Amino acid sequence: MTTSTSADIVVVGSGICGALAAYRLAQQGLSVLILEAGPRIDRARVVAAFRNSPRKSDWMSPYPFSPWAPQPDYSPKDNGYLIQAGPYRYPAEYIRVVGGTTWHWAAQAWRLVPSDVRIKTLYDVGVDWPMAYDELDAWYQQAEEILGVAGADNTGSPRKHPFPMQPVAEPWSMRRFRERLAPAYPVVANTVARNSRSYDGRPACVGNNSCQPICPVNAQYLGINAVESAEAAGARVVPNAVVYRIEPDAKGRIVAVHYYDPNKKSYRAAGKEFILAANGIESPKLLLLSASDRFPNGIANSSGMVGRNLMDHPSSSLTFYADEEVWLGRGPQSPSSINTMRDGAFRSRHAAYRLDFTNISQVLSVTEALIAEGVYGAEFEKQLRWRAARQVNVKNVLEVLPHPENRITLASEKDALGIPKPEAHYSIDDYTRRGADVSKKDFARIAQMMGGTGLRYSPDGQFANNQHITGTLGMGDDPAKFVTDRFGRTHDHENLFCCGTGVMPTAATMNSTLTAVALALRTADHMHPPSRGKSSSAAGAEPSP
């Protein structure tokens, strides 16, 4: 039996992009319904679960797993939800709860650099974006004011207006990197959505150093803040609503989505317009799931491009001991980076990259290493103190180019509700690998300048994944090559829009959230332009000191 509900706008997915699009539209007086597959969770219980977890470095461990809304998990072993078709493993992680995956992000909120949207024209690689960088400035600014973003001025991303706040105080470790690597490498504050002062009713960071998996004090903007804003503006959130089919009419307009509750009872949510914002894996999965006689390739897939051009940011890294005590772990986890390799003529030959320094406390990893080495007793304590004070790590964040064969498809395996699991087809091309090779020279030089000993490079050809799921719903003007148009509207369905990192045509070198949020706000404003005189500006900020 089917139960019905309806709204002007139905948003599928309650992550930061869907929720902020919903917020914008609810502010316009539209009725907005947000459907979220996972449950609603409470920050403090995540904090308590994290403190109680024996697996502190597993950032999925404090989050609940819901059989009706499964999420990939690889620790202690792969739970088999995201099927790996190869040839390279793509162990993407995301959280299916109200608020989405930013629950455990590190709040890096970067803009693109202007060349990122023109790499085909400038370097004859990848594709150009269907918009200029300047067109994004206003939405970037609004996104930054909502999220409360701070950063350095010299990261390669021009801006017309200042950041809404100053960066969080520089940790000692990052100061030492900055001082010792200058002038060869300018180490600057990362651009992050983390409060250096009380902002929009949220407190300043107090340096718990657990940004991932959970900011315990709400100093870092999360999707749940966006959800709460949307609700305050009138949007309604239905948790545990697993959308499994998008229903078009004969003309191709979308008329409803169908969802299951945890007991597989089916519901139908009708609407005038629809926003698909279920991330770069679940969104294309849902489009593909919705195949019918009329749309045999799935919804929005006349081009056959749904799920294709999957991208992320692979990283290789170097861990070593500095010749002085820097004590990583004070302040936020990702405070600083080097941005000089985000653009240049070299991009015609190899991947651009950022160099990122971790500031995660090394006590846990050093402890595990010492136990594995069989060190105990007084020597253990001595070694722990010495290594935890000196162990540092630098990693690259490598650009990946769009390739149609890197894609999300439907697996033959099904989840607990009988919905096909997603399957990842992924590879890392030579362009990206060449970038990794070049960055290795930077690693060596940085280690040398820090008096590094005990150098441990990540093995050649092995990359960590950064969970910046990009592509799969790419924006472009040509309906034969792209899923969505320049405003995120699907080429095939005039009232179906996509928000999220999936719409980004290329991945560039920055964490993808801020760009996706800016695009989501832009999509919402395109759907229903804010009325003149009515403020569409960001959440009210408190006065500066």
Nearer to other proteins, 296 or 543 (CB): 543
Which residue out of 104, 403, 468, 493 is catalytically annotated? 468
Q: Which of 6, 31, 208, 266 binds other proteins (CB under 8 A)?
A: 208
Per CB under 8 A, 166 contacts other proteins: no
| Contact in structure between 23 and 230 (CB atoms under 8 Å) | yes
Kindly report the CA angle at 143 between 355 and 397, in degrees rounded to 5? 15
Reported as type and span, the H/E element at residue 247 is: strand 242-248
What's at 469, amino acid-wise?
A: I
Judged by CB under 8 A, which of 45, 349, 385, 445 binds other proteins? 45
Is 416 one of the binding residues for other proteins (CB under 8 A)? no
Q: Which helix (H) or strand (E) holds 378?
A: helix 377-390
Interface residue with other proteins, options 91, 114, 186, 216 (CB under 8 A): 216
Of 125, 131, 138, 204, the one binding other proteins by CB under 8 A:
204
Q: Which is nearer to other proteins, 210 or 484 (CB)?
A: 210
- 67 is a site residue for other proteins (CB under 8 A): no
Q: Out of 5, 31, 40, 48, name the contact with other proteins by CB under 8 A.
A: 48
296 DSSP 8-state letter: T
Region label for 452, one of left (φ > 0), alpha (ψ between -120 and 50) or beta (otherwise): beta
> Site for other proteins (CB under 8 A): which residue of 105, 140, 185, 199?
199
Q: Can residue 209 be called a binding residue for other proteins (CB under 8 A)?
A: no
Q: Which is nearer to other proteins, 196 or 458 (CB)?
A: 196
161: annotated active-site residue: no
Based on CB atoms, which residue is closest to other proteins, 21 or 211? 211
- Of 93 and 200, nearer to other proteins (C-beta) is 200
Q: Write a three-state SS string for 271-290.
A: EEEEEECCHHHHHHHHHHHC
- Tell me the window of 215-223, 279-287, 430-438, 450-458 that interacts with other proteins (CB under 8 A): 215-223
Which DSSP category does 533 fall into?
A: T
Closest approach of other proteins to the CB of residue 420, in Å: 31
Question: Judged by CB under 8 A, which of 132, 182, 184, 206 binds other proteins?
Answer: 206
Q: How far is the CB of 208 from other proteins (least distance, A)?
A: 6
Beta partners for residue 4, in sequence order: 268
If one counts every other C-beta atom within 10 angstroms of the C-beta of residue 63, the result is 24
Query: Which pair of structure tokens corresponds to residue 541?
Result: 């900020």
Q: How far apart are CA 94 and CA 369, in angstroms?
A: 28
Q: Which is nearer to other proteins, 51 or 265 (CB)?
A: 51
Say how far apart CA 414 and CA 419 lie, in whole Å: 5
The CB-of-326 to other proteins minimum distance in angstroms stands at 19
Asked if residue 194 binds other proteins (CB under 8 A), the reply is: no
Give the integer Cα–Cα distance in Å for 226 and 146.
Answer: 9
Q: What whole-number distance in Å separates Cα of residue 495 and Cα of residue 4?
A: 20
CB 329 within 8 Å of CB 335: no
Would you tell me which residues interact with other proteins (CB under 8 A)?
42-45, 47-49, 51-52, 197-199, 201-204, 206, 208, 216-218, 542-545
Task: Give catalytic residue positions.
Answer: 468
